[in-house]
Structure 1
Amino acid sequence: MERYFISGTNTDVGKTMFSAWFAKRLKEEGKSVCYIKPVQTGYPADDDSAFVRSYAGLPDSDARVLFTGEEPVSPCFLWDEFPMQEAADQINAVTGFDVLIVEGAGGLLVPLDMQHQVYEFARICNLDTILVVPNRLGCINDAQLSAKFLEAEQLPVAGLAINDHYASDPTNRDRNKQMINYLLPDAIRYIFGSMK
C-alpha cells in the first residue's frame, strides 16, 4: 500500500484541496483510497474529511477524522496529552486499500501537545510526505525550509504539490516554480489549483 502524509508550509495552503484532488485522481486510476485526518480543530464547522468524501466520491468509512476539537486553534491548546499512540495505531491498522492519505493539521511543526508535533505522524506511521506549497510570495523560502527540515529528520519526501490557486499572475506563478525546481531539483511532482 502506498502511504502518504500530506503536510504544508503553513496552515490554509490547500492541504485538504490537494488531498481531495489527489484522492480523486487516484480513484480515476482505478486505485482504492483511504483518507484519514488524525486531528481536526474547528470541528464540526470545519470537516476536511467531509470535503474529501464529497470531492473524491469516497464513502463515509473511507474518509474520516480521528480526534476533533471545536475551537479553531492549534491542537496543543485543546489537548494536554494528545492521544498520539491511539491515533497512530488507528492509522497503522488501515489495510485493504491501494493508497492511504493522512492529512496533517497546519504545517509540519504544529504542536499537538507539549510533547508531540504533527510531523511525527510521518515517522510513527511510516508515511512518505507530500508537501503542499502555495504559489505566492515567500513560497520559495518556505518550501526550502520545510524540505530541509524533513531531510534533517530523515523523513522520506514523495514530492512537492504546488498550489497555483494563490498565484498573483502568470509571470510570478512560473518564476516561483522554476526557482523551486532549481533549488530543489525534481521535487515538484504535482501542480493543482488555478489562478485567481
Structure 2
Amino acid sequence: MKKRIFITATNTDIGKTYTTKLLLKAFAARGLKVGVIKPIETGVVDYPIDGEALLECVKELNPKLWSIEVEDIVPITYTLPAAPFVASDNMPLDLKKIVKKIEEMEASSDIVIIEGAGGLYVPIDEQTMMIDLIKLLNAKALLVTHCSLGCINDTLLSQKALEAKQIPHIVAFNCRDDDDSFSVVSEPYFIKTGQKVLKVGDDIDSICELLYNL
C-alpha cells in the first residue's frame, strides 16, 4: 500500500485545503509523485469548490494525472452545506467508492493526501464519524488547528480523540494574520508542555518530513 496522509482539523474553516495544497507542493518538491482525494464534500451546488482547487494543484504537480476530472478527486458530493449525515439524509457511507478512487490515484502516485470534511467528530452516517474514516483508510493523520483563543482546548480534545483511536498523527498550527495573540495566550502552554509548535505557513517542510516518516 502507498503512503496515505489524512488531513483533518479541529473544526471547519481551519485551513485543511490550504494545508493540503502546501503539502502537495512540498512532497512534489522532494521528487515524489503526489495524489489527492477529498472523499466527501458538502455544500456543492455547481461544482465542488475545494475539489476544483485540489484538482488544479495536483495536475500541475503530477503529469500522470493530466486526464483526471474533479469526480476523481471528490467521489461523493452533497448540496446541503452540513455534516454528511445530515446532507445525505443518513445515507450509509459508500466506503468502496472512496477506496476505489484512492487506489486509482495510487496507481499514479507515491503518496496520496486525503482531505477530510470538518472536524474529527463530524458524522458521516449513523455508524461512522470522520475519525473512523481515517482508521478505515489505514492513513496517518495531520491535525490542523487554529491559533486563536481557545486553540488549547480544541487541540487537546482532538489529540485525545486521535490517541484513543490509536491513529498516528502530528499537529500543525495554521496561524492567520489576525492571530497575533497566539504567542502570548496559547503558544506558551504548548512549549512548556513539550509539544513542538509547527506552523503551516512557516514549517511546511518540517511537517512534510515528519509525516513522511510517521
Q: Secondary structure at the match of 1:105?
A: strand
| TM-score, scaled relative to structure 1 | 0.85
Please say if residues 124 and 130 of structure 2, whose CA atoms lie closer than 8 Å, have aligned partners that are also in contact. yes
**Mapping of 1:1-196 within 5 angstroms?**
1-43=2-44, 44=46, 46-55=48-57, 57-58=60-61, 59=66, 61=68, 64-79=73-88, 80-92=91-103, 94-157=106-169, 159-165=170-176, 167-169=178-180, 172-175=181-184, 176-183=186-193, 185-186=195-196, 188-192=197-201
Shift of 1:138: 0.7
Please say if residues 161 and 190 of structure 1, whose CA atoms lie closer than 8 Å, have aligned partners that are also in contact. yes
Shift of 1:166: 5.7
Q: Residues 44-90 of structure 1, C-alpha deviation per residue, up to 9 Å, x if partnerless?
A: 45421211233453446287111011121111013222213432343
Bigger helix fraction:
2
Structure 2: unaligned runs, 5 residues or longer: 203-214
Bigger strand fraction:
1
Q: Which amino acid aligns with 2:10?
A: T
Q: Secondary structure at the match of 1:4?
A: strand
Q: Secondary structure at the match of 1:119?
A: helix
Q: How many residues align?
A: 189
Shift of 1:152: 0.9
Q: Secondary structure at the match of 2:190?
A: helix
| TM-score, scaled relative to structure 2 | 0.79
Change (3 A) 1:15 1:60: farther
Please say if residues 36 and 114 of structure 2, whose CA atoms lie closer than 8 Å, have aligned partners that are also in contact. yes
Q: Which moved more, 1:16-25 or 1:95-104?
A: 95-104
Change (3 A) 1:65 1:173: same
Shift of 1:20: 0.7
Q: Residues 3-38 of structure 1, C-alpha deviation per residue, up to 9 Å, x if partnerless?
A: 101000000100011001111121122211110000
Q: Which moved more, 1:85-94 or 1:62-71?
A: 85-94
Q: Secondary structure at the match of 2:118?
A: strand
Q: Which amino acid aligns with 1:104?
A: G
The whole-number CA distance in structure 2 between the counterparts of 1:128 and 1:181 is 24
The whole-number CA distance in structure 2 between the counterparts of 1:106 and 1:60 is 29
The whole-number CA distance in structure 2 between the counterparts of 1:185 and 1:29 is 26
The whole-number CA distance in structure 1 between the counterparts of 2:125 and 2:155 is 25
The whole-number CA distance in structure 2 between the counterparts of 1:134 and 1:168 is 9
Shift of 1:124: 1.1
Q: Which moved more, 1:104-113 or 1:56-65?
A: 56-65
Q: Secondary structure at the match of 1:72?
A: coil
Structure 1: unaligned runs, 5 residues or longer: none
